[in-house]
Amino acid sequence: MSVRPLVFAAALLGLTSPLAAKTLAYEDNKLNFRSCSGTNVSARWVGADIALSEPGRSPSDPAPSAEFMTWAGACATFAWGADIGALVITEGGKPQPSQIVRFVSWDGSRWAAARTGAGFFLVRIADKDAADPAANMKAAGAWLSKNNTLGVPAADILAEALQAGDQAAN
């Protein structure tokens, strides 16, 4: 009888931090984000290319890159740089290699993702109304590093990039 309240209390301890309460991380075969025009799209890898789809529509033919809305609301593209084994983020005509893409999700919240081969490993960084989402990157990276109990390699890459404050163009 007394074990149940202790387990419940221990579970609540993890929710005392605002970041821990809102941090969500998972692996998925797609990335749901806002395009530069504000449309909700999903991206899936097809080899080194990306197929996009909108809700209720068939995927597009794969293309080498996809446009997305950055945390600051600017337009950028991401692509896979097979020769460097990293994402290539292009904003303002300047391509930069990065282990992560920082994007705006369908609900306006800010997320970061790393490629996992056929999919993505994602972590929620901030709500849509956050004044400075980048301020949460290091804490989210530390949380992800601590909670990657299955040892997912892409989660480790994402956690390391977040803790380092990966400042690629997006």
Which pLDDT band, with edges at 50, 70 and 90, does 24 fall under?
confident
pLDDT, tens digit, for every residue of 53-107?
998 888 999 999 999 999 999 999 999 999 999 999 999 999 999 999 999 999 9
For residue 123, the Cα-to-chain-centroid distance in whole angstroms is 5
- For residue 129, pLDDT beyond 80: yes
- For residue 136, pLDDT beyond 70: yes
Percentage of the chain with pLDDT > 90? 76
Tell me what pLDDT residue 58 has. Answer: 87
CA–CA distances in Å: residue 14 to residues 9, 23, 127, 143: 9, 11, 19, 11
- For residue 44, pLDDT beyond 60: yes
Tell me what pLDDT residue 5 has. Answer: 36
Tell me what pLDDT residue 11 has. Answer: 34
Cα distance between residue 95 and residue 166, in whole Å: 15
Cβ neighbour number for residue 2 with a 10 Å cutoff: 5
Which of 110, 122, 123, 115 lies closest to 170, judged by CA? 110
Cβ neighbour number for residue 25 with a 10 Å cutoff: 20
For residues 6-32, average pLDDT: 58
Chain-wide mean pLDDT for the chain?
86
* Owner of token pair 């390391």: 160
Q: In what order do the strands lie in the sheet with 110-115?
A: 25-28, 120-126, 110-115, 101-104
Is residue 32 a contact partner of residue 55, using CB atoms and an 8 Å limit? no
Tell me what pLDDT residue 21 has. Answer: 45
